[in-house]
Structure 1
Amino acid sequence: MNTQPLRQPGALGLASMPAVFVLLWSTGFIGAKFGLPYAEPFTFLWLRCALTLAVLLPLVLVMRASWPAGARLWGHIAVSGLLVHGAYLAGVFYSIALGMPAGLTALLVGLQPLLTAAFAGPLLGERLGKRQWLGLLLGLIGIALVLGSKLDLSDSLFKGFGPGALTSVIMALLGITLGTLYQKRFCTRMPLLSGAVIQYLAAGTLFTLGAGLFETRQIVWTPTFVLTLGWLVLVLSIAAIVLLMALIKKGEASRVASLFYLVPPVTALQAWWLFDERLPWPGLVGMAIAIGGVILVARASPAPVNNR
């Protein structure tokens, strides 16, 4: 008896999991756009982090997940959490809060594989090939076209946002890049679930300090904010991690990593549909060139797995 048709639904589900993961990941930028009118960035992130820990910690206990061995590994995981969650999320949320379009924010931080490849040589001793250098050059050309399409010399430096937003997104890009390299160098033995708890605890400490020192900590509790917060906590911070675990278990981690270059265009489409965010044609050409550069780098070397 031929059982192949019975296996097809499961095989189809497995094949679609990487795309579903990328789709979920891209909604993080959209969630920031929806929620920031009702809470300041550090306050928003602190609340998201606290609720994520409230769900994630019992999950670790129920699943009896192992914890990192030794105080030194705990410290390394905490540092990586400050970079890949703390600096990255704070930079993304502040750039959007200061007026940068969600699609452009996703494109800029989506250049992480290019920057990681550039830093991997001096920091990890990895040499770049010709294809990687070409990818880096294309990425720089693409991002110059995108930012150039947003220049408004007659009014302010950029249309809709200023240097503060650009500085924030550069901080996010550096945070996720350096955090990825740091995690690759010092956290190879990090358990996924319990390691995420430690990372969120470290990032939550940063968000607590930021909210206490620089913000009023006021929240406007509206249905939109509650739904957005619930989505970011349950779907993005929890479900996406569980999905990533399933993909790794099934041997699909490399496929997920190679699909991360789809995040900027997917985010741009969502932002266009929901917020009518648009790029002029030079910006669209620049986005395509930058994504092409990321593809070249990702295919020429092991693609880094982002953290959220």
Structure 2
Amino acid sequence: MPQQILSLLIAAGFVVCWSSGFVGGRLASALDTPVLSLFAWRFLLAALLVALWCRWRLGEAPRASDMRREMAVGSLTMGGYLLGVIVAIDLGVSTSVTALVTALQPLLAAALAGPLLGERLRPRGWLGMVIATLGVALCVADDMQQPLAAPWWAYLLPLLSVISVTLGSVLAVRQATAMPLSAALLAQLLAAAGIFLLAALVVEGGKLSPPTLEPSFLAAIGWLVVLSSLGGYGFFIASLRRLGVTLTSALVHLTPGVTLLWAAAMFGERLGPTGLVGMVLAGVGAGLAIRYVRRSGPTPRDRDARRVPRTWSAGETPDAAHRVPSRASQS
């Protein structure tokens, strides 16, 4: 498969599956099972499925050091990110406000990726990020209907989620491992499962609410496991490895609009004119940012392949890496 088409498929899969998490959250909100227990079961089931796949396909266990690195990444990008979002919503912060705050993640990622990874945006790329953020704000404004009734400190939790997922993304690229995608996903799912299991036990008095066989529970858990966990975080890891932190984060700008399309198709929610304008702005801004991060290109600092983004091999120049597949990607 041509490398550009593969990158496009990974980017599209990431946007669609990452957006599915918000729909899964809505399905889960209608259940009687406490949300922390539900997410603990979600990650435990997803980890079990990936473990069975790894056992069948890989045969040998990955190195303990690589597992520790990937678990550290998962504790930030999965556990810390989702825990902050879920607790904030549970305390009364509206989903729209939470989505607006988490939409700041691409800007923070672009700011950190330059000095830490060499992934620099040109001025037009930053303009694209700002336009995309404005588009996301319009999408969210179109959906904001609930009064703000949460305590003031609850609004800091989505911001902590943004910091958590950004630091995890940088760590995933800066301390890249050679683990297969499925093994890396397993390590990250186990870390997230541990975080939510501990949180559920603390909040629910040392007990974990058991799963049920009700159709609504099975539908919600199936959606969250297949699309949001395996699909969303599988494509997230693949996108970080192939596209880098800045490009992956720019794609996050497209997820609110896609989420609104999910909601319109599944729940009959109609997009207002403000939401439509926001979707267009988010798409234009994200496209501009993606274009100019490719032109400026991440620049390897040294020849240590474990310390640079895996978007090209350590001996290539950025321009050459975007023109032809790297030898590392062909091996």
TM-score range, shorter chain: 0.7 to 0.9
- Comparing 81-90 with 269-278, greater Cα deviation is found at 269-278
Match of 2:83 in 1: 90
Match of 1:77 in 2: 70
Match of 2:203 in 1: 214
Aligned partners of 1:143 and 1:244: how far apart in 2?
20
Which residue identity lines up with residue 184 of structure 1 in the other structure?
V
Counterpart among 220, 225, 242 of residue 228 in structure 1? 220
Conserved? CA contact 1:33–1:102, under 8 Å:
no
Counterpart among 258, 270, 289 of residue 262 in structure 2? 270
Match of 2:317 in 1: none
Which residue identity lines up with residue 179 of structure 1 in the other structure?
G
Q: Which runs of 5+ in 2 are unaligned?
A: 298-308, 311-331
- Comparing 228-237 with 205-214, greater Cα deviation is found at 228-237
Conserved? CA contact 2:96–2:141, under 8 Å:
no
Query: What TM-score do the two structures reach when normalised by structure 2?
Result: 0.68
Counterpart among 172, 178, 189 of residue 200 in structure 1? 189
Paired residue total: 286
Q: 1:287 to 1:87 in 2, by over 3 A?
A: farther
Q: 1:284 to 1:26 in 2, by over 3 A?
A: same
Conserved? CA contact 2:20–2:259, under 8 Å:
yes
Conserved? CA contact 1:60–1:194, under 8 Å:
yes
CA displacement, residues 5-57 of structure 1 (integer Å, 9 cap, x when unaligned): xxxxxxx9998786456434322211111013323232111101111121111
Match of 2:315 in 1: none
Q: Which runs of 5+ in 1 are unaligned?
A: 1-11
Q: 1:203 to 1:165 in 2, by over 3 A?
A: same
Which residue identity lines up with residue 33 of structure 1 in the other structure?
R
Aligned partners of 2:77 and 2:123: how far apart in 1?
28
In the TM superposition, residue 167 of structure 1 has moved relative to its aligned partner by: 3.5
Q: 1:108 to 1:299 in 2, by over 3 A?
A: farther
Residue identity over aligned pairs, in percent, reads 33
Which residue identity lines up with residue 78 of structure 1 in the other structure?
M
- Comparing 58-67 with 16-25, greater Cα deviation is found at 16-25
Conserved? CA contact 2:81–2:161, under 8 Å:
yes
Query: What TM-score do the two structures reach when normalised by structure 1?
Result: 0.73
Which residue identity lines up with residue 46 of structure 2 in the other structure?
T
Counterpart among 290, 304, 310 of residue 298 in structure 1? 290
Which residue identity lines up with residue 43 of structure 2 in the other structure?
C
Match of 2:321 in 1: none
Which residue identity lines up with residue 138 of structure 1 in the other structure?
I
Match of 1:46 in 2: 40
Q: 1:90 to 1:241 in 2, by over 3 A?
A: closer
Conserved? CA contact 2:44–2:193, under 8 Å:
yes
1:176 aligned onto 2:165? yes
Aligned partners of 2:288 and 2:104: how far apart in 1?
12
Conserved? CA contact 2:125–2:289, under 8 Å:
yes
Which is bigger in relative contact order (C-alpha 8 A, separation at least 6)?
1
Aligned partners of 2:268 and 2:219: how far apart in 1?
21
Conserved? CA contact 2:41–2:211, under 8 Å:
no
In the TM superposition, residue 183 of structure 1 has moved relative to its aligned partner by: 0.6
In the TM superposition, residue 67 of structure 1 has moved relative to its aligned partner by: 4.5
1:31 aligned onto 2:20? no
Conserved? CA contact 2:264–2:271, under 8 Å:
no
Conserved? CA contact 2:76–2:165, under 8 Å:
yes
1:132 aligned onto 2:125? yes
Conserved? CA contact 1:114–1:294, under 8 Å:
no
Aligned partners of 2:167 and 2:203: how far apart in 1?
25
1:289 aligned onto 2:278? no
Q: 1:157 to 1:206 in 2, by over 3 A?
A: same
Q: 1:167 to 1:224 in 2, by over 3 A?
A: farther
Aligned partners of 1:25 and 1:43: how far apart in 2?
21
Which residue identity lines up with residue 289 of structure 2 in the other structure?
V
Match of 1:120 in 2: 113
Q: 1:167 to 1:142 in 2, by over 3 A?
A: farther
